[in-house]
Structure 1
Amino acid sequence: MTFKDSVLALVIILAWGLNFVVISFGLGEVPPLLLGGLRFLAVAFVGCLLVKRPNIPLKWWCIYALPMGFMQFAFLFMAMANGMPAGLASLVLQSQALFTMVFALVFLKEGVRFHQVLAISLAGSGLLMIALVSGVGDMTLFGFVLTLFAAASWAMGNISARTMSQKGFSVNVNLVIWSAWVPPLPFFVCSWFMEGPELMQSALLSMSWVSIGALVYLALVATILGYSLWGYLMSRYPASQVAPLTLGVPVVGLSFASIILDESLLPLQWIGVCFVLVGLLVNTFGTRFFYQLKTIFKEA
């Protein structure tokens, strides 16, 4: 990458890593489902003024946006409102890569390689270590499970995106932004029935500059800016070079959560974090590593 593009990559990692701390601030005053609806409404209103409408049938907007937008963030926001620390949320959500592998095997009949099985085993062991101490530190088991549901929803969105690509539809930042019109309705309906109209009204009327700032960050920085820069890098470099950038997100998330929110992890959770990160590394670079290893043995 050029120096400029390397800086843009760093901006993405920082923006998405800090995103989890900002969510915590937003949830301090706004209930999770209402916050999710407001986030996507802001993305849709602002984003549609900046990018062209994708030439994709509306049903595919829904097939993509419901798991990727509504379900993922409904589960994530509820998880963080119910005892899931921001730092750990940034890490556990990355298990979407493992869920994507499993769903691709089941629904798309894609093969699974040895390094992918190894990645699932390592990351799965790490997640189990993190879950075993739920209720002892800051994390609750309920929040942890909801975050896993969020990761699984993200993976379902990935499968939708792959299916759309196979049918000739381009899954890019235009779709991400314009499909943001889909999640607000289910978010607001669920908020009405689960959080109640009184809480919704109270939260809207009493929003402070902290809540408004969090909403602006989630919509403009984490979503519109983040995905625009991501799309730019994906258009200039191989996916194998850009995709590993997401590995930096939980590192930044854990760091910011420790500094800003004073979150701390138990020893077993730190071990679990290391296992998950190693599993994600194996999943990302395993093909290249085992290919080079095979080449070395052939030449020996």
Structure 2
Amino acid sequence: MTIKDSLISLLIIFIWGFNFVVISWGVDDLPPLFMGAARFLLVASLGSLFIKKPDIPWRWMAAYSLTLCFGQFALLFSAMAFGMPAGLASLVLQSQAVFTLILSALFLHETIKINQIIAMIFAGIGLSIIGFTGEHGNMTVIGFALTIAAAISWASGNVCNRMINQRGYQSNTGLVVWSSWIAMIPFFLTSLLFEGSDAILSSLQQSSFTTVFVIFYLAVAASILGYSLWSYLLSQYPAGQVAPLTLGVPVVGIICAALFLNESISEQQYLGICLVMVGLVINAVGGRWFKCFSRSTVS
């Protein structure tokens, strides 16, 4: 990568890593589902002014929106409202890579390679260790379970994304922006149903600078800017070179959570974190290692 693109990569990693701290601040002031509704309303209303609607049928945009947008973030925001620490959330959510492999094999009939199986074993053991710390640490079991569900929803969105690409459509920032018009509808409806109008009005009346900053950060920085820069990198470099950059997100998330939220991590959770990171690295670059090893063995 050029120096400029390397700096863009670092900016994306920081934006998405710090995003978990911002979410934690947000759920302190806003009902989580209403916060999601406000986020995607702002993404849609601002983004559609500058980005034209992609040539993708609404049914596919709806499938993408309900899984990757609504499903992922409704579950993630709720998880953090129910006691999932920001740092651990940034890591556990990356298990979407493992669930994407499984769902792709089931619905797209993609082959799971040996390095991916090894990656799933490492990540699975690491997530189990983190999960079993549950109520014994600073993390709740329900928060962990909802974060895993958010990762599965993200993986489902990835499968929808691949299906969209397979049908000859281009999934880029336009898909993120225009699918937000759909995502905000279930967010508003579930917020009214589960959180109630009183909680929504109360949060609006007590809103502060932090509340406004949270919504704009989630919409403008994490969604519009983050995905626009990500799409730019994917257009300039192979996906295999760009995708592993997300491994830096939980590192930034954990560091920022410690600095801004004073979160602490137990020794057992550190062990789980290391195992999950090993699994993610093997999944991202292990295929090249295995090819190099097989070539050297043959020669």
Instruction: Using structure 2 for the length normalisation, give the TM-score.
Output: 0.99
Cα distance in 2 for partners of 1:53, 1:212 equals: 27
1:204-219 correspondence runs (5 A): 204-219=204-219
1:180 aligned partner: 180
1:11 aligned partner: 11
1:261 aligned partner: 261
Question: 1:25-46, CA deviations, whole angstroms, 9 ceiling, x for partnerless residues?
Answer: 1111101000000000000011
Cα distance in 2 for partners of 1:53, 1:188 equals: 22
Cα distance in 1 for partners of 2:182, 2:74 equals: 13
Question: 1:263-296, CA deviations, whole angstroms, 9 ceiling, x for partnerless residues?
Answer: 0111000000000000000000111000000111
Deviates more, 1:166-175 or 1:8-17: 166-175
Other structure's SS at 2:54 match? coil
CA-CA distance at 1:210 after TM superposition: 0.4
1:188 is aligned with what amino acid? F
RMSD: 0.6
Other structure's SS at 1:170 match? coil
Cα distance in 2 for partners of 1:193, 1:121 equals: 39
Question: 1:84-112, CA deviations, whole angstroms, 9 ceiling, x for partnerless residues?
Answer: 00000000000000000000111111111
1:164 aligned partner: 164
Cα distance in 2 for partners of 1:145, 1:287 equals: 30
CA-CA distance at 1:206 after TM superposition: 1.7
Other structure's SS at 1:196 match? helix
Identity of aligned residues (%): 49
1:242 aligned partner: 242
1:71 is aligned with what amino acid? G
1:42 aligned partner: 42
CA-CA distance at 1:54 after TM superposition: 0.7
Cα distance in 2 for partners of 1:165, 1:223 equals: 20
1:103 aligned partner: 103
Other structure's SS at 1:242 match? helix
1:89 is aligned with what amino acid? A
2:138 aligned partner: 138
For this pair of structures, how many residues does the alignment match? 299
Cα distance in 2 for partners of 1:111, 1:23 equals: 36
1:22 aligned partner: 22
Cα distance in 1 for partners of 2:247, 2:175 equals: 24
Q: Report runs of 4+ in structure 1 exceeding 4 Å deviation.
A: none
Question: 1:47-97, CA deviations, whole angstroms, 9 ceiling, x for partnerless residues?
Answer: 011211111111111011110000000000000000100000000000000
Cα distance in 2 for partners of 1:239, 1:97 equals: 14
1:270-289 correspondence runs (5 A): 270-289=270-289
CA-CA distance at 1:205 after TM superposition: 2.1
Q: Structure 1: any 5+ residue segments left out of the alignment?
A: none
Cα distance in 2 for partners of 1:271, 1:166 equals: 39
2:125 aligned partner: 125
Q: Structure 2: any 5+ residue segments left out of the alignment?
A: none
1:154 aligned partner: 154
Other structure's SS at 2:29 match? coil
2:17 is aligned with what amino acid? G
2:189 is aligned with what amino acid? V
Cα distance in 1 for partners of 2:177, 2:111 equals: 32
Cα distance in 2 for partners of 1:113, 1:266 equals: 33
Other structure's SS at 2:55 match? coil
CA-CA distance at 1:163 after TM superposition: 0.8
1:274 is aligned with what amino acid? C
Question: 1:236-270, CA deviations, whole angstroms, 9 ceiling, x for partnerless residues?
Answer: 00101110110000000000001110001110000
2:231 aligned partner: 231
Cα distance in 2 for partners of 1:119, 1:273 equals: 13
CA-CA distance at 1:177 after TM superposition: 1.0
1:287 is aligned with what amino acid? G
Cα distance in 2 for partners of 1:215, 1:104 equals: 33
Cα distance in 2 for partners of 1:297, 1:57 equals: 48
Cα distance in 1 for partners of 2:106, 2:53 equals: 32
Structure holding more helix per residue = 2
